[in-house]
């Protein structure tokens, strides 16, 4: 199979973990006789440094002509502490999501047996956790009208949703639920927000065509609590952009390993795959970051965008093998660990 993959390493640990994912993909190509070509593009703080634009046109074109996108991370501390910065790396990420029509961010959360001890939650609480979050990615307060009053004494971010925006991700969530345990939990704040009441209206209406799928309605504050108290009650969580951002960070630590979780952003033609851990600037350049989430994102890319399930399985098996043999980075085992690139070599050996 001939495929072109756009690689956007981005900021912080993005380049290190993405390099491992690319190495693993090359190994897979060699073993399974595929021809993957990789072309790198700039996004984020590094793109601002080099071009002044966090999502340059060249990168957009690269993404549009690719068969799939592998993305690292975005963000730099020099912008986090400067609210007056005129251009911010995160704008590049939002522009990219919007321009590529990536309206659904899919984040699966499941426990790895060998990592059960690493969760901050009790083993009996995390046993059997297996859910997936469908976060809306191109609407809500991230993209609504925002600004300052003329005297700059007040500010606003508007949360807006259309029925169509809600419906298209609802379809994806129900489709996923029909292949899983047949339960969708819509997370919102319908006791306060009008947009949430629109979500309920659209999702409840859509659900009437799927009598075999249970629809549960839950307020976001309650969901934040339930994720810790009883995470195994969830199957598919469907939610808007900001709630999804917050809950997926919470969800990511349930399994004890933020460094293990991949995600896919889908919508229009080309999909984007990224680890959910972000840029982790404190670890940048130290060769200590956990590359597994990026590698598992690459596996998801092969499966979802290229329909290469055997190949995806080979990567997943290599990840399991490393975990079982303790060939892991410092975040997983601070006493006995390998570097980022050494884990990459081990993964390739197993493949
Ligand atoms: C994420 C990140 C981004 C978001 C930031 C970096 C803008 O937190 O992908 O979850 O809020 O969507
Ligand atoms: Mg986030």
Domain of 231: which CATH number?
A: 3.40.718.10
How many whole angstroms from 281 Cα to the centroid of ligand 2?
15
Asked about 157 being catalytic, the answer comes back as: no
* Among 196, 230, 255, residue at a domain's last position: 255
Are 276 and 227 in the same domain? no
Are 270 and 310 in the same domain? yes
Are 171 and 206 in the same domain? yes
Residue 26 included in any domain: yes
Spatial separation of the C-alpha atoms in residues 146 and 140, rounded to whole Å: 11
Ligand 1 interacting residues, C-beta cut-off 6 A? 74-75, 90, 93, 245
Q: What is the pLDDT of residue 257?
A: 75
How many whole angstroms from 85 Cα to the centroid of ligand 1?
18
Are 209 and 153 in the same domain? yes
pTM over 0.85: yes
Catalytic residue (one of 49, 82, 221, 336): 221
- Of all ligands present, the nearest one to the C-alpha of 143 is 1
* Residue from 265, 273, 275, 269 nearest 104 by CA: 265
Q: Going by DSSP bridges, is the β-strand pair 68-73/130-136 parallel, antiparallel, or unpaired? A: unpaired
Are 231 and 124 in the same domain? yes
Cβ distance 344 to 27 under 8 Å?
A: no
* Residue from 139, 3, 163 nearest 68 by CA: 3
Are 89 and 176 in the same domain? no
Cβ distance 60 to 99 under 8 Å?
A: yes
Are 99 and 139 in the same domain? no
How many whole angstroms from 242 Cα to the centroid of ligand 2?
9
Q: What is the pLDDT of residue 13?
A: 98
| Residue 154: exposure state from Cβ atoms within 10 A (0-12, 13-18, ≥19) | exposed
Asked about 57 being catalytic, the answer comes back as: no
Nearest CA to ligand 1 atom 1: 245
Residue 36 included in any domain: yes
- Which of 91, 93, 276 should be mutated for ligand 1, with most atoms under 8 A from CB? 93
Nearest CA to ligand 1 atom 10: 245
Asked about 82 being catalytic, the answer comes back as: no
Q: What is the pLDDT of residue 3?
A: 98
Nearest CA to ligand 1 atom 12: 245
Are 33 and 97 in the same domain? yes
Spatial separation of the C-alpha atoms in residues 178 and 281, rounded to whole Å: 39
Averaged pLDDT, groups of 10, the chain, 351 residues long: 97 98 98 98 96 97 97 93 86 95 95 82 91 97 96 97 98 96 98 98 98 98 97 97 95 85 93 94 96 97 95 96 95 94 98 97
Residue 301: C-alpha distances to residues 11, 177, 263, 327 (Å): 21, 20, 9, 24
Residue 115 included in any domain: no
Residue 195 included in any domain: yes
Asked about 221 being catalytic, the answer comes back as: yes
Residue 114 included in any domain: no
Residue 321 included in any domain: yes
- Of all ligands present, the nearest one to the C-alpha of 263 is 1
Are 2 and 126 in the same domain? no
Are 214 and 130 in the same domain? yes
Which structural domain range is residue 240 located in?
A: 120-255
Domains in the chain: how many in total? 2
How many whole angstroms from 142 Cα to the centroid of ligand 1?
10
* Among 213, 235, 255, residue at a domain's last position: 255
Catalytic residue (one of 189, 206, 330, 331): 189
For 321, list phi and psi in degrees, rounded to 5.
-60, -45
Are 124 and 246 in the same domain? yes
Spatial separation of the C-alpha atoms in residues 147 and 101, rounded to whole Å: 24
Spatial separation of the C-alpha atoms in residues 31 and 311, rounded to whole Å: 9
Residue 207 included in any domain: yes
Residue 347 included in any domain: yes
Nearest CA to ligand 1 atom 4: 245
Show the 3-state SS of the chain. Answer: CEEEEEEEEECCCHHHHHHHHHHHHHHHHHHHCCEEEEEECCCCHHHHHHHCCCCCHHHHHHHHHCCEEEEEECCCHHHHCCCCCCCCHHHHHHHHHHHCCCCEEEEEEECCHHHHHHCCCCHHHHCCCEEEEEEECCCHHHCCCEEECCCCCCEEECCCCCHHHHHHHHHHHHHHHHCCCCEEEEEECCCCCHHHHHHHHHHHHHHCCCCCCEEEEEEHHHHHHHHHHCHHHCCEEEECHHHHHHHHHHHHHHCCCHHHCEEEEECCCCCEEEECCCCCHHHCCCCCCCCHHHHHHHHHHHHHHHCCHHHHHHHHHHHHHHHHCCCCCCCCCCCCCCCHHHHHHHHHHHC
Asked about 235 being catalytic, the answer comes back as: no
Are 249 and 330 in the same domain? no
Strand partners, 6: 39, 69
* Among 237, 255, 273, residue at a domain's last position: 255
């Amino acid at each position: 199979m001939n495929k072109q993959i756009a690689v956007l390493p981005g900021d912080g640990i993005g380049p290190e973990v993405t390099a491992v994912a690319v190495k693993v993909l090359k190994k897979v190509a060699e073993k399974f006789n595929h021809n993957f070509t990789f072309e790198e593009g700039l996004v984020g703080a590094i793109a601002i440094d080099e071009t002044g634009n966090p999502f340059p046109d060249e990168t957009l074109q690269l993404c549009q002509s690719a068969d799939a996108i592998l993305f690292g991370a975005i963000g730099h501390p020099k912008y986090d502490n400067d609210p007056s910065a005129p251009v911010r790396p995160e704008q590049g990420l939002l522009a990219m999501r919007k321009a590529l029509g990536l309206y659904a961010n899919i984040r699966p959360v499941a426990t790895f047996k060998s990592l059960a001890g690493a969760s901050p939650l009790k083993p009996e609480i995390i046993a059997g956790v297996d859910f997936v979050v469908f976060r809306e990615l191109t609407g809500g307060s991230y993209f609504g009208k925002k600004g300052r009053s003329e005297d700059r004494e007040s500010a606003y971010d508007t949360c807006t949703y259309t029925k169509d925006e809600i419906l298209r991700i609802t379809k994806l969530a129900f489709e996923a639920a029909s292949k899983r345990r047949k339960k969708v939990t819509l997370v919102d704040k319908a006791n306060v927000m009008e947009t949430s009441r629109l979500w309920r209206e659209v999702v409840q209406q859509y659900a009437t065509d799927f009598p075999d799928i249970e629809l549960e309605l839950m307020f976001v504050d309650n969901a934040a609590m339930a994720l810790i108290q009883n995470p195994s009650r969830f199957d598919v969580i469907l939610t808007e952009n900001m709630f999804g951002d917050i809950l997926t960070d919470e969800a990511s630590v349930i399994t004890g390993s933020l460094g293990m979780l991949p995600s896919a952003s889908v919508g229009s033609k080309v999909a984007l795959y990224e680890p959910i851990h972000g840029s982790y600037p404190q670890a940048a350049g130290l060769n200590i970051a956990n590359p597994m989430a990026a590698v598992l994102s690459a596996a998801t890319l092969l499966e979802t965008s290229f329909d290469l399930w055997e190949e995806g399985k080979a990567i997943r098996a290599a990840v399991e093998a490393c975990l079982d043999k303790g060939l892991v980075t410092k975040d997983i085992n601070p006493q006995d660990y390998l570097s980022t690139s050494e884990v990459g070599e081990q993964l390739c050996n197993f493949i």
